[in-house]
Structure 1
Amino acid sequence: MIAWSFGENRGAVSFRQVAIGVLATFATALVLLKLPGVAHAFDVVNDAVGAISSATRAGTSFVFGYLGGGALPFDVTNPNATFILALQALPIVLVMSVLTTLLFYWRILPPIVRGLSWLLGRTLGVGGAVGLSTAANVFLGMVEAPLFIRPYLAKLTRSELFLVMTGGMAGIAGTVLALYATLLAPVIPDAAAHFVIASVIGAPAAILISLIMVPETGTYRTGGSVDPAAECHGTMDAISKGTVAGLELLLHIVAMLIVLVALVYLLNAGLGLLPNLGGEPVTLQRLLGYVMAPVCWLLGLPWQQAVTAGSLMGIKTVLNELIAYLDFAKLPADALDPRSKLIMLYAMCGFANFGSLGIMIGGLGAMAPERREEIASLGLKSLVSGTLTTCLIGAVVGVLTWP
């Protein structure tokens, strides 16, 4: 209903497609979360992320010594003070970028992406081009995935273009998946597997929300090709290109964290001049918590936990999901119960924030300059659709984990 109210051409919404989309989203979540064999298979994902994290720690320890996680040359009085985010956790982005590039160059991931694209087309009736982009979003980010269908971007219908944008806003890239899983591993068991499941469920959920908000009134485009590593000329070249791309992303993350945390501090300093509310200072986190609390309650969280969860959801939307997950990991153990923590992991698993919106509009505008105005006009709508998609996934998980 919320997606429909924010949409256009409401009379053109296909309720048959909506019903199929709801069924596909729920069925995907049911299979991935409840079937014992599938759940056991995802244990491999957790082990793989643990291995990647350990390998990254070996590299950072070699380069940065104890600052990168190596043996400390002194006695520790406060273990928490020895963790340096930029040198111990964030470098996993470099390793994941290289691994992703290699897996595409070695033609391991392309058949999986093609299979997902075919499945989305057969079940939800989307065109091959947008199905391919949506499937690629399971592994790649909001700018990398549309590269799969770059020749088709200028020819897509308005609905298909919006679907591509929604897919980018409603998921995260594989390059940061391992980072987020590492951050939340102490808080949520099997966090890595849940992030992978969220990425997979996000594909049908993004199509569902997108077709409600901007229904198709034309003819679907088909086609698309899977060859993102075509410019790589060997394994070492793929490693080099993956490292450079990962370094750009790493520096972007570090710079954004410094700036956004500083801006939040300044904003909270200004809000601190206001009278206390409920005996506590007014902060951005508290205000966002009150605004987003009803949303979190609708996801299935108890009302007494909704304000705490709402602040995380608000930070994720206004700032970005990394800062929200960092705050999530720092919450007191009893702030959210295990079920609420799991729901919030899924509900925040997407790039739907204003910073990412600017990146996506710029990237898609460069790939299809003739559609730049239309891309920009759909920008805020895609931010809403991406947020609604992750909230839908969180709500489905809440239903499946109901006591």
Structure 2
Amino acid sequence: MAGEGVGPQAKLTASGSLKIYEPFDPEDVKKKNRSSIQVFSFFHSLKFFFIKHKSKIWLAFKFFLLLGWFVFLIFAFLHKKTPTVWGLFGFTIFCIALFIFKHYAWLRVRPSLHTVKKKLDRVFLKHPWPTKLCLLALLLALFLVLLIIVMEVRTNPTKLIPVAGFFFLVFLMWACSVHPFRVNWRPVIAGFTFQILLAIFVLKTKPGRYLFLWLGRAFQRFVSFADKGSTTVYGFLAERHIFYFSALPVVIFCSSVVSTLYHFGAIQWFCKNVTVLFRFIIGTSSHETLTAFANIMLSMTEAPLLVRPYLPTLTRSELFCIMTSGFATSSVSLLGAYNQQGAPFYHLITSFFMACPASLAVSKLLYPETEDQSKDQEKLTAEDEEKEKKCINFIEAAAKGAVDAAPVILNIAAVMIAFVSLIALVNFFLRSAGDLVGVPGFSLQKIFQYLLYPFCVIVGIPPEHCLTVAALLGLKLTGNELIALEELAQNRQSSSLISEKSFILAIYALCSFANLGSMGIQLGFFSCFAPQKVSFVSKNLLKAMLAGQLVNMLNVALVSMMFNDALLFGL
């Protein structure tokens, strides 16, 4: 047939040239189509594979690229440590830190920033101009505080240690918070700002220093009247400075005076009127603000009585704030006893005032407010005040205060006897065990020395005395502040054990109710006056006690940062 088995054919084109054509073969076309389909299928599968595993492939590529970059940096660093290599290394670390912040930390920080933005919008758009002025004043005060801190560090770079320690303790408390991302930063920042401003006023300005020196001397003169009564009862024993016969009678005298002032309503009026400004600026409720301020003058079981009718209805955050402020301070009734151990009134009063706003800030940082405070009221009603037991006249009030102090001094004496004896017993077993394993002198003080040593270092206590102060803190936490102050007074007699600066800083760390024995006292108080809250109180007692001690350590950091020779005049 025509066309079968014929070779190439020629055809004349329109231009007159010949064009050679290969003969058409269907089998060749099928083979070419199959090859094209296979190639297309292969590339399609490859494309689908890349699309399906795109993220993993891209991640592997970045990993090997980063690995190669690090290998290059290592070889460059080993070969020649030039500034260029150091710059590349620093830039790499910065990029890694930025990547971690963007993909991990930012996801946690973003909700808090969004909450802050909404609150700022609410303040500037909805609140009246007094609130705006208050916020601006707070920001100005915060700027002033930061400026003074920078000036202090610039004049003495070693003061950077307590500054860093202060912010480290604040960060540590935020990390241990019950709700770290629901913290209301207004009371926290305002409380710490007030604490620092008060420290600047008292420790860095002459008017503040002279004012608190005058208060210290006035209170010293006031307490000296107790010597008349103790000499009348104990005779020559009171003149020999025996603790039970000279220091503890001061508690009876001060308790009698406080009870009389309470009967006339002087303490209630003073606390309620002074706390108006604090409540408005800091933003805490009237109950917790009033109790925190009252703890400057009253004990941890007396101050909450000012809001006694409302104790069962307080929120958990308010209750934790009241507990913390009780542990962070002491009572004016015990100032005389502290002074008998060598603690100057000037530094004791300064410590109590600084602890007031700091306890509010610390409590709101560790246990933020997450409940409705609509039940909060500005003051006690007349009906509630009538329910409170009142004395007939000031004579009965003075006698009642003295009688109420009798169990207190017996409790102090009993706790001191028990804990000093128990500590001696524990130390005996520890020393015996230490001798058996070749560690002579092993004791409870040694254990606390090394546990609390880092905290003493970061708040600015001189390194050569940190172990001594850490041991005193251990005595205070396991016993009470009077036991630690007695040991401090003995150490002060030897300048090699503790210097005057370390002595002053130790006073700020020791003079409060933050100890294990006070936990039982506070639990007993709430069991009587707020039995509905006993479960919450018992679960958070240890945390509140440690929070109170952290307030004292923040005071130590501030005093260390602003310390100068003028503070020695308070001794």
Q: TM-score normalized by structure 2?
A: 0.64
Match of 2:434, SS state, is: coil
Verify: 1:43 aligned to 2:213, yes or no: yes
1:91 aligned counterpart, secondary structure: helix
Q: In structure 2, do the counterparts of structure 1 residues 310 and 330 end up closer, same or farther at CA, with 3 Å as the change threshold?
A: same
- Structure 2 residue aligned with 1:323, among 464, 483, 491? 483
Q: Secondary structure at the match of 1:351?
A: coil
Query: Residue 104 of structure 1: SS of its match in structure 2?
Result: helix
Query: How far did 1:402 drift?
Result: 6.1
Distance 2:234 2:315 in 1: 50
What's 2:180 paired with? 10
Quote the residue 1:102 is aligned against.
260
| Partner AA of 1:211 in structure 2 | K
Deviations 1:351-375 (A, max 9, x none): 1111101110110121111111111
Q: What is the distance in 2 between the residues matched to 1:327 and 1:36?
A: 32
1:44-97 per-position Cα deviation (integer Å, ceiling 9, x unaligned): 33323332443222222222221121xxxxxxxxxxxx4321112221111111
The answer to whether the aligner puts 1:373 opposite 2:535 as a matched pair is: yes
Higher relative CO (Cα under 8 Å, sequence separation at least 6) belongs to 1
Match of 1:213 among 353, 366, 369: 366
2:357 matches 1:204: yes
Q: Could you tell me which amino acid in structure 1 is paired with residue 345 of structure 2?
A: A
Change (3 A) 1:32 1:278: farther
Aligned-partner Cα distance in 2 for 1:299–1:57: 37
1:140-173 Cα shifts (integer Å, max 9, x gaps): 1111111111111111111111101111111101
Q: What CA deviation, in whole Å up to 9, does each residue of 1:8-57 have, x standing for no partner?
A: 01110123432222211101211222332232222333323332443222
Check if 1:157 corresponds to 2:315. Answer: yes
> Structure 1 runs of 4+ off > 6 angstroms?
226-229
| 8 Å CA contact retained: 1:32, 1:38 | yes
Question: Aligned residue for 1:243?
Answer: 402
2: CA distance, partners of 1:21 / 1:64: 45
- In the TM superposition, residue 230 of structure 1 has moved relative to its aligned partner by 5.5
Farther off after superposition, 122-131 or 224-233: 224-233
1:31–1:225: structure 2 CA closer, same or farther, 3 Å change rule? farther
Q: Does 1:255 align with 2:403?
A: no
| Equivalence map 1:211-360=2 (5 Å) | 211-220=364-373, 221-225=376-380, 231-275=390-434, 280-331=440-491, 332-360=494-522
Counterpart code for 2:413? V
The residue number in structure 2 matching 1:178 is: 336
How far does residue 134 in structure 1 lie from its aligned partner after superposition?
A: 1.0
How much has 1:280 moved relative to structure 2?
5.0
CA contact (8 A) 2:203 2:563 kept: no
The match for 2:230 among 60, 74, 80 is 60
Q: Distance in 2 between matches of 1:49 and 1:212?
A: 34
When Rg is computed on C-alpha atoms for both structures, the one with the higher figure is 2
Letter in 2 for 1:51: R
2:400 matched to 1:400? no
Q: Point out where structure 1 has 5 or more consecutive residues left out of the alignment.
A: 70-81, 186-190
Q: Could you say what secondary structure the match of 2:301 adopts?
A: coil
**1:293–1:238 CA distance, 2 compared to 1 (3 A):** same
1:133 and 2:288 are equivalent in the alignment: no
- Secondary structure (helix, strand or coil) at the match of 2:401 reads helix
Query: What are the Cα deviations for residues 280-323 of structure 1, in whole angstroms up to 9, with x where unaligned?
Result: 51122222112111111111012221100100111111211111
Aligned residue type for 1:295: F
Letter in 2 for 1:238: A
Q: Tell me the distance in 1 between the aligned counterparts of 2:208 and 2:534.
A: 42
How many Å separate the matches in 1 of 2:545 and 2:359? 12
Work out the CA distance in 1 between the residues paired with 2:280 and 2:508.
26
Question: Cα offset for 1:233?
Answer: 1.6
Deviation for aligned residue 1:401: 1.0
Per mean C-alpha deviation after superposition, the further-off stretch among 104-113 and 1-10 is 104-113
Structure 1 residue 132: Cα displacement: 1.0
The separation in 2 between residues aligned to 1:305 and 1:278, in whole angstroms, is: 26
Code of the aligned partner of 2:562: L
Task: Tell me if structure 1 keeps the 8 A contact 2:362–2:547.
Answer: yes
- Match for residue 84 of structure 1? 242
Specify every segment of 5 or more residues in structure 2 that has no aligned partner in the other structure, as ranges: 1-170, 566-571
Query: Sequence identity, in percent?
Result: 29
Paired letter, 1:174: V
SS at 1:334 equivalent: coil
1:76 maps to which residue?
A: none
Which one has a larger percent helix, Structure 1 or Structure 2? Answer: 2
Q: Contact 1:117–1:134 at 8 Å: present in 2 too?
A: no
Deviation (angstroms), 1:182: 2.5
Q: Is the 8 A contact 2:416 2:480 kept in 1?
A: no
User: 2: distance between equivalents of 1:24 and 1:34?
Assistant: 15
Q: Find the counterpart in structure 1 of residue 274 from structure 2.
A: 116
**Paired residue for 2:549?**
387
CA contact (8 A) 2:295 2:303 kept: yes
Give the whole-Å Cα distance in 1 for the aligned partners of 2:206 and 2:389: 38
**Secondary structure of 2:378 counterpart:** coil
Distance in 1 of aligned mates of 2:364 and 2:301: 21
Paired AA for residue 392 in structure 1:
L
List per-residue Cα deviations over 1:335-384 (Å, max 9, x = no partner): 22222222211122221111101110110121111111111112111012
Q: Report the secondary structure of 1:216's partner residue.
A: coil
1:218–1:279 Cα change, 3 Å = closer
Corresponding position of 2:202: 32
Task: Answer whether contact 2:416 2:479 (CA < 8 A) is retained.
Answer: no
